Amino acid sequence: MPPNRGDRPMRTMLTPRSVDLSITNRCNLNCTYCYHFESKGNSGRDLPTEDWLHFFEELNRCAVIDVTLAGGEPFLRKDFRELIDGIVKNKMRYSILTNGTLVIEEMAAYIASTKRCNSVQVSIDGSWPGPHDAFRGEGNFERAVAGLQRLKAQGIPMTVRVTIHRHNVDDLEAIARFLLEEIGLPSFSTNSAGYVGQCRSHSEDVQLTIEERTRAMETLLLLNEHYNGRISAAAGPLAEAKHWLEMETARRDGDESHADCGQLRSCGGVFSKMAVRADGEMVPCSQMSHIELGRINQVDLKETWQHHPELLRLRERRTISLADFEFCKDCPYIPYCRGNCPALAYTLTGEENHPSPDACLKRFLEAGGRLPERRNQPQQDCC
Amino acid sequence: MPSSQALIANPLIVLREEFDDWAILFDPDTSHSYGLNPVSVFIYKRLDGKHSFEEIVSELRSECQNAPDDAETDVQQFLDDLLAKGLAGHAAQQR
């Protein structure tokens, strides 16, 4: 049994190591389950180039190591190269989250030429147009795959995120074969459409039923074993399958407690990273864009990072015991649970400092869900 | 390295102080990073092209309690390591 390190303090870095930047609110697509639209993140006008460039200088002074460019669709910005130049000039590396449809050859070549790109993540939700285009719009599967191929041709580190929903849950084997064998990616990651942003308005069409979730967990475990750990997940059915199986084994074996469990400790993001909305408002995380920390270039980043009451409140989250929640009453999994994503907890309960009902094993089982057979999973990144 | 010749930190490298007095040196071009303990940070911050080896050791002895007798050797090894990795270089001589 692992030791219980429940009283181990979590140290906050002097400055954030990484910052997620939503550089635009605009997008050429309108995906049914987009987390950005219908969220607080979709507010105000996009910042002008010079404001971002000025902020990059502050990030440099704070020794921030890397930024993630997201949106909206980041490639919609006409000054995209200027922004990349500013990142490079200020001694940072960058990643890009994109729908892939606007990746032209010249831009891929430019990204490659900077030699500072950690990765470009393209969203692809199917092995053929049907499941992808069902929620992302007709023709966009072909465009995204073409973008991916252009990135690959330039040797840019790339990854694919597959968002699992009701239209692709039965396409997972074909998706894995398509991405890992046909396209030749080293790996890809998965999650599932969460109850955030536009998904809240289309939940019944998009989000997996309990039966589908059970099936997805079983399939992904098998696929991950078959592909020797080349499928990863920080959330969604694969992550849940692995974590929940550990929790169930611990409960069955009578383990007293697992490391960092029993409190709201699932997310350590606020100890090492933060985010900025397209309008320049700093927020703890792009998924918690309703918590406003102040405008870039108007408030001091380091001061905000170290002392803003909202960040301190979120960092205190990890001291809150799950046993104190009525929601967790009589739950046998408390010693093995970390309470899950605070952003999802907020959208579902109105409180960040609350366990997230969405990723609750007890509720899943009570609703008729079944855990898959335990398998020896290859090692990989997980939450 | 001649002991009196001043070194200068590679300006393309990021010194990132994370917890307490510990830090990492990060090379954004390669993604390589190197951990620095507090004494190494103390030394690295003095690689400004002005501090000589002797001055760095002298400041280290006055700032750090219980500096070992052979501190010079340790400092020299650290500086040699920085030079070998391209994390520092010799300051250009002014004519």
- pLDDT tens digit sequence for A260-306: 899 999 988 999 999 999 999 999 999 999 999 999 999 999 999 99
Number of domains in chain B: 1
A–B CB contacts, 8 A cutoff, strictly below: 29
User: Does any domain span residue B20?
Assistant: yes
Regions of chain A short of the pLDDT cut 50: 1-6, 381-383
Q: Given this model, what pLDDT does residue A171 score?
A: 95
pTM: 0.91
Is some CB atom of chain A closer than 8 A to the CB atom of B21?
A: no
pLDDT at A258: 87
- Whether B18 is covered by a domain: the verdict is yes
User: Which chain A residues have a beta carbon less than 8 Å from that of B19?
Assistant: 11, 13-14
What pLDDT score was predicted for residue A378?
A: 67
Range of the domain at B77: 7-86
Q: Is position B94 within any domain?
A: no
What's the DSSP call for residue B87?
Answer: S
Spatial separation of the C-alpha atoms in residues B49 and B51, rounded to whole Å: 6
Q: Tell me, what's the pLDDT at A257? A: 87
Q: Which residues of chain A neighbour B44 with C-beta distances below 8 Å?
A: none
pLDDT tens for residues B25-77? 999 999 999 999 999 999 999 999 999 999 999 999 999 888 888 999 999 99
Q: What is the pLDDT of residue A126?
A: 95
Q: Does A43 touch chain B (CB under 8 A)?
A: no
Give a yes or no: residue B91 inside a domain. no
CA pair distance A267, A10, nearest whole angstrom: 11
The answer to whether residue B28 sits within a structural domain is: yes
**B31 within domain boundaries:** yes
Predicted confidence (pLDDT) at residue B11 exceeds the cutoff of 70: yes
B92 occurs within a structural domain:
no
- B70 inside 8 A of chain A by CB: no
Q: Does the interface ipTM go beyond 0.95? A: no
> Closest-CA residue in chain A for B33?
A65
* Residue B60 belongs to domain with CATH number: 3.90.930.60
Residue A377's pLDDT is 64
Give A98 to chain B, closest Cα distance, Å.
Answer: 22
B26 touching A (Cβ < 8 Å): yes
